[in-house]
Structure 1
Amino acid sequence: MFYKFAISMLCLLMLTGCWSRRELNELLIVLGVGVDWEDGHYLVSYQVVNPSEISNQQKRGDRPPSTIFQGRGRTLFEAARSVTAEAPRKVYMGHLQIYVIGEEAARKKGINELIDSAARDNETRMDFNIIVAKGSKAEEVLKLYTPVEKLPSYSMQQSLQTSQKNWAPTIAVTLDEAITKLSSQGSELALTGIRVIGNPKVGETKQNIEKFMPPSRFRYSGIAAFKDDKLIGWLNERESRGYTDITNNLDSTSIAVPCGEQRYLGIEVTSSDSKIKTKVVNGNPEAEVSIRTEANIVERSCTHVDLSNPATIKELEGQTKKAIQSNAEAAVNHAKDMKADIFGFGTQMEKEHPAFWYKVKDQWRDEYFPKLKVSYKIKLYIRETGTTENSTIR
C-alpha cells in the first residue's frame, strides 16, 4: 500500500503544470524590434500590440494600434532591461515578426552582435524576418502608421513575403537562415533593405493614413551585402534581381524586353531554378551558374511583334536570357568588388572539392573569390502568350 502511495506522490511531483505561466494581461506582446547604434550605446525599440485597439469588442479608436518602448545600454541585454523603467509589463518575444537593424548599427557593430541576444532567448522563435533600414534608423521604420494593416510590423512582414514571391529584388531571411550563413566560411550574409519614403516625422502621426497615398511610407529597396558580419555595401535593383536568380530565391518576377522606341514587351517569369557547380582548372577555381526559367508574355505594346510566329518567340527568349544573364553578371561583379561572396560559391566549392577548399579557405574572400571565373548557362522557355495572342488593338 505504501509503495503505491509513494509512486502516486512521485507522479504528482512530476506534474507540476504551469509553474512558470504568465498571463496575457501581464505581458507586452512584441511584434517588431529595431536596433540602432547611437552615441556609443544601443537603442532598442520594441513595437508592442495595443490590445484595446485591435480587439473588436474593446476598440476605442483614440490610441494607435501599437506602442513603441525604447531602452538604451552598452549591451543589447542592458538596453532591453532598461525598458522596464517605463514599460508597465514585461516584454514577450514569442510572436516577433520583424527585426529591423539600423544601417549605422549594421556597419559599425556587425550582425553577429546584433542578433546574438535574440538567438539566445528561449522565448524567441527562429522564424522572424531580419531586414536593414537603408539610410535611416530602425526606430523610424517601426514608428510609421501604415494603411490597410493596422500593425506596422505585420504590414512589413506581409509585404516582404508577398514581394519575395512576386518581385525579384527582395528576399525574406529568417533568424535561423541568417545564423547558417554567418557560420559558413564560404558564404556571406545578404539581407533585404527597407527605406522610409517621405518625412519620418509625418509618418509618426495618425494623419499619415488619412490620405489616399500616405505621405510617409516604407518600401523594400536593394539588398544589403555583408562581409565578416558587417554591412559593406548595397546591391541596386538590377543587381538584386541577379542575386535572387543565382541563389535560387526567385519565384516570379517581371522582365521588360524592348521592342521599339520607349516600348516594351512584358515578360512574366513563372518559375526559375538555379544551380551552382564548381571546378578547379590548373589550380584555379571556376564556377558555372545554371538557370532554367519558364515565362509567359503578358503585355504586348508593339503591334508589329507577331506572337504567332515561332521565330519571334525564339527571338524573345534570346532577349530575355540576355537580360537575366546581364543582371547576374552585374551582381557577381559588384560582389567581387566588395570581396563578399554572398552567393555561396565558396560553400559549393567546399562540398565539391574539399581538398582544394581546405587549402584556399582562409584566402577565399580576399584573393580567390574576386578572381573567380564564372560562366552562365541559361535556358528560358516562353510557354504562353496570353489568350489573345496577337491583339487587334492599334
Structure 2
Amino acid sequence: MKKMLRVFLMLPVICLSGCWSSIELNKLAIVTAMGIDKTEDGYLVTVQILNPSELAGDARSGRTEVVTFKKSGATIYEAIRGLSTDVPRRIYVAHLREVVFGEEMAREGIGKPLDVLSRHKEIRSDFYMTVAKGSTAYDTLNVQTALEKVPANKVFDALENSEKRWAPTRTVTLDELVSSIVSKGREPMLTGIKVYGDPESGSNVKNAQNISPNSGLRLDYLGVFKRDKLVGWLNKNDSKGVSYITDHVKSTAVNIPCEGDQITVNTTSSKTKIKGKMEKGNPKIDINVTSEGSIGEVECTIDLTKPEKIEELNKRYEKDIKAKIEGSIKTVQEKYQCDIFGFGEEIHRTDPKAWKRLEGNWENEFANLDVNVTVKAKIRNLGTISESFQKEIEE
C-alpha cells in the first residue's frame, strides 16, 4: 500500500518533468531546407520555412506554402541566430529535409558548416546533403516547384527516386558525408542541383502554377570532393560508373547498339563485389559486377527469338557497363586523384600492414592503381512481345 501511495504521489512530478521545456507549435518556424553560401565577411545562411496556414485545411489566402529568409554573419551560427530579426518564431531545424551548399562554398571547403550541423542538438542526420551546381544555395532555395508544394520535399523525393531508377545520382546523409571526409581510404561525393530557366522568375508563386514552369530544380550528376573541398564534376556515364562500382545501382536504363540503331535494356538488378589485394608490393583491385535486365525498347529489326541474337546483346550489355566503370575510374584517377570509390578502405581491410605503408601516399598510389573489371550481364526478359513493330513499319 505504501509503495502504491509513493508511485501515486510521484505521477504529477513525472508528468510535469516531461513538458517543462515544451514549445507550442504556433511558436515554431519549421525549417525544411537550409542553404549555406560564402561571403567576403563570413557566410550567408538561407532557410526555407513552412507556411502552416497555407498547408493546413482547405482555406487558402494565395500566399506561398514556404517562405525563404536569408541572413549574413561572421559565423554560420551567428547568421542562424540573426534570422530572429526577420522571423517572428523560433527557428526549428529538427525536420530538415535538405542542406545545399553553394558551389563557391563547396570549393572553398564545407568542414566548418559540417561542424555546426553535427554539433546542433536539434538537428537529426536523416536529411540529404547537396551542392548547388553553378549557382548559390540562395538561388536554389528561392525556386517554387511544381507537383510538390514544399520545394525541399521535391528535392528529397527526387533524390530517392533517381537513385533507385536512374543511378547517376546519390543520396548522402550528414553522417555518411562526415564519415567519408574523415576516412583515410574514401573521399566524399555529393549530387549537384541545377536551377534551370530564369532564377528570378522561380521565386514567383505563379511559376509553380504554370503548366510549363519558367524555372525549376533539376538533379545533376556527382560532385567529386577531396577531403572537404569540391574539386570537380562527373558526367552522366562516369556518375553511373561510380554507382556500379560502389554497388548503388538498383535500376537504370542502358542503351546498346543494335544493327544501326539501339536497344534499351532496363537493368532490374545489379551486384558489385570489390576485392583488394597486394601483389609484389603493389595494391590491386578486382571488381566483379553481375547485372540482369529486361528489354525496355527496341529501335532496330533484330529477331529476339533467336538465342544467338540474345547472346550477342548480352555481350554488348556487358561491354557498356564495363566501359562506364573503366571510364569513371580513368576520369577520377587522371583528373582528380581522389579515391571516391573506397579502394583504400578495401586495401586496409585486406592487408592492414600494407595499408600503414600506403596510407601516407595514397593519393599517388590511387592515381596509378591497377584495377581489373569483370562484368557478367544477362537479359532475362524480352517484355510482352518478342518482335518489334519496327520490322513491319520498314517493310
Question: For the superposition of Structure 1 and Structure 2, which TM-score range results when normalised by the shorter chain?
Answer: over 0.9
Q: Partners of 1:165 and 1:2 in 2: how far apart?
A: 60
1:168-187 paired onto structure 2 within 5 Å = 168-187=167-186
Alpha-carbon offset, residue 5 of structure 1: 7.6
1:79-118 paired onto structure 2 within 5 Å = 79-108=79-108, 110-118=109-117
Task: Identify the residue that residue 139 of structure 1 maps to in structure 2.
Answer: 138
Cα–Cα, structure 1 residues 296 and 6, in superposed 2: closer, same or farther, change >3 Å?
Answer: closer
Q: Partners of 1:272 and 1:329 in 2: how far apart?
A: 17
SS at match of 2:238: helix
Task: Identify the residue that residue 332 of structure 1 maps to in structure 2.
Answer: 329
SS at match of 2:183: coil
Q: Partners of 2:326 and 2:232 in 1: how far apart?
A: 17
Alpha-carbon offset, residue 299 of structure 1: 0.9
Q: Partners of 1:111 and 1:327 in 2: how far apart?
A: 29
Task: Identify the residue that residue 309 of structure 2 maps to in structure 1.
Answer: 312
1:215-226 paired onto structure 2 within 5 Å = 215-226=214-225
Letter in 1 for 2:320: A
Task: Identify the residue that residue 119 of structure 1 maps to in structure 2.
Answer: 118
Task: Identify the residue that residue 253 of structure 1 maps to in structure 2.
Answer: 252
Task: Identify the residue that residue 346 of structure 2 maps to in structure 1.
Answer: 348
Q: Partners of 2:229 and 2:388 in 1: how far apart?
A: 51
Q: Aligned pair 1:289/2:290, yes or no?
A: no
1:144-155 paired onto structure 2 within 5 Å = 144-155=143-154
Letter in 2 for 1:45: T
SS at match of 1:196: strand
Q: Deviations over 1:21-63 (max 9, x none)?
A: 01110000110111111223210000000011111244222x1
Alpha-carbon offset, residue 320 of structure 1: 1.2
Task: Identify the residue that residue 300 of structure 1 maps to in structure 2.
Answer: 298
Q: Deviations over 1:220-260 (max 9, x none)?
A: 11101100211011111110010111001111000111224
Q: Which runs of 4+ in 1 moved over 3 A?
A: 1-15
Letter in 1 for 2:229: K
Give the TM-score of the pair, scaled to structure 1.
0.95
For structure 2, list consecutive stretches of 5 or more residues without a partner in the other structure. none
Alpha-carbon offset, residue 361 of structure 1: 0.7
Letter in 1 for 2:117: A
Alpha-carbon offset, residue 3 of structure 1: 9.7
Alpha-carbon offset, residue 390 of structure 1: 1.0
Task: Identify the residue that residue 56 of structure 2 maps to in structure 1.
Answer: 55
Q: Aligned pair 1:378/2:379, yes or no?
A: no
Q: Aligned pair 1:34/2:32, yes or no?
A: no
1:192-203 paired onto structure 2 within 5 Å = 192-203=191-202
Q: Deviations over 1:309-335 (max 9, x none)?
A: 111111111111111111111111121
Task: Identify the residue that residue 64 of structure 1 maps to in structure 2.
Answer: 64
Alpha-carbon offset, residue 387 of structure 1: 1.3
Q: Aligned pair 1:274/2:272, yes or no?
A: yes
SS at match of 2:143: coil
Give the TM-score of the pair, scaled to structure 2.
0.94
Aligned length: 389
Letter in 2 for 1:205: N
Q: Partners of 1:121 and 1:361 in 2: how far apart?
A: 32
Task: Give the root-mean-square deviation of aligned CA atoms.
Answer: 1.7
Q: Aligned pair 1:25/2:23, yes or no?
A: no
Alpha-carbon offset, residue 11 of structure 1: 6.7
Contact 2:317-2:378 at 8 Å conserved across structures: no
For structure 1, list consecutive stretches of 5 or more residues without a partner in the other structure. none
Alpha-carbon offset, residue 104 of structure 1: 0.3
SS at match of 1:88: coil
Q: Deviations over 1:357-383 (max 9, x none)?
A: 011111102x11001000101110110
SS at match of 1:226: strand
Q: Deviations over 1:99-139 (max 9, x none)?
A: 1111000011x222222211111211111001110000011
Q: Partners of 1:3 and 1:380 in 2: how far apart?
A: 69
Alpha-carbon offset, residue 207 of structure 1: 2.7
Task: Identify the residue that residue 232 of structure 1 maps to in structure 2.
Answer: 231
